[in-house]
Amino acid sequence: MRARLLSVLFAVSIISGSLPMQSCGDGERVEESSGGTLIVFHAGSLSVPFRRISRMFMEENPGVTVRLESAGSRSCARKISDLGRECDVMASAAYTVIDALLIPDHASWNIKFASNEMAIVHTEDSKRHGEIDAWNWYEVLLDPGVAFGRSDPDADPCGYRAVLTMKLAGEYYGESGLAARLLEKDRRFIRPKETDLLALLETGTIDYIFLYRSVAQQHGLEFLILPDEVNLKNPGFTDLYGTVSVEISGKKPGERIVKRGAPMVYGITIPSNSPSPELAQHFIDFILDPDKGMKVMEEAGQPSVVPSSSDTYEAIPAALKKFAKPAAGSRSG
């Protein structure tokens, strides 16, 4: 009876327009308004800072609604390229996802805006957490009594970055076959995006996750810092990172492409099918402003790389060119 009453009250509240909030695709909630609406697809690792940035933007722009929808970055891109879903802003945990899956058919430019690093994330209840360190972590993860999770390389950059980290670790620690052993273990704990693994960690189903350091910081989790030769953070090791690779899905069904290791850099764009491109430009300007959105990103553990070079500099809207610079060898107009 009580459940039926609540259902009726909920229906009445919708009809009367008394609900001040609207649920978004991944459980996030934003203020509803009668003004313009922005559809934002973003990497799961951007959920915490983008939620805060969106609230700030809506407070500064009354009447605007920001709809946030998170997924693995490659899945976000495929919603646009394969499913034809409208999107105003696409923010990827790897700028190369935009380059590979959206440009030139579904977007024309890309701005690099933040960085991150891979870490081994755990809780105080994780098995062997008191002894894990930068030199024995792979031995701990290979322990039959320990379970770890990672995201799907075909759906999420964090997934293929986990694989690259394993391969770099094999070289760094001189452990032949290390990546193969790690990749064969605990395959049942592979999920579409890295943030899907948090519930498994918090319930004790798994003990560790290959995850971005920023996500660990944002959720108050413990994490092990990996050497720069392994964590995909340091641009000084670009050549080293490039010595390892992973095969992932390409643009076409059944196509496989090779993804080489590289420092972590996030990218953002406005897809060609954006219903509100001018409002989208305004939102990206807000995100990349060092005193607004990027201040939030820095606090969330995702340092700014603005301005960075862009191979698509000429196609970037004039109002956003200040956040990028021409790639070496290109002409600026």
Is the pLDDT higher at 55 or at 18? 55
CB 288 within 8 A of CB 114: no
**Can you give the pTM of this predicted structure?**
0.76
Average pLDDT over residues 30-44: 73
119 falls in which pLDDT band (50, 70, 90)? very high
> Looking at residue 57, what is its pLDDT?
98
What three-state secondary structure class fits 40?
Answer: strand
Average pLDDT over residues 19-48: 62
Show the domains of the chain with their CATH numbers.
Answer: 19-116+265-326 (3.40.190.10), 118-260 (3.40.190.10)
Query: CA-to-CA distance for 250 and 141, rounded, in angstroms?
Result: 30
> Looking at residue 20, what is its pLDDT?
33
Long-range pairs, 311-314, Cβ under 8 A, ≥24: 311/99, 311/110, 312/103, 312/108, 312/109, 312/110, 313/109
Reported as a single tens digit per residue, the pLDDT across 252-303 is 888 898 999 999 999 999 999 999 999 999 999 999 999 999 999 999 999 9
Tokens 């954006």 belong to residue:
274
How long a stretch of residues is the chain? Answer: 333
Query: CA-to-CA distance for 17 and 20, rounded, in angstroms?
Result: 8
Give yes or no for residue 226 having a pLDDT over 70. yes
Residue 2 CB partners (closer than 8 Å, separation 6+)? none
Name the DSSP letter for residue 327. P
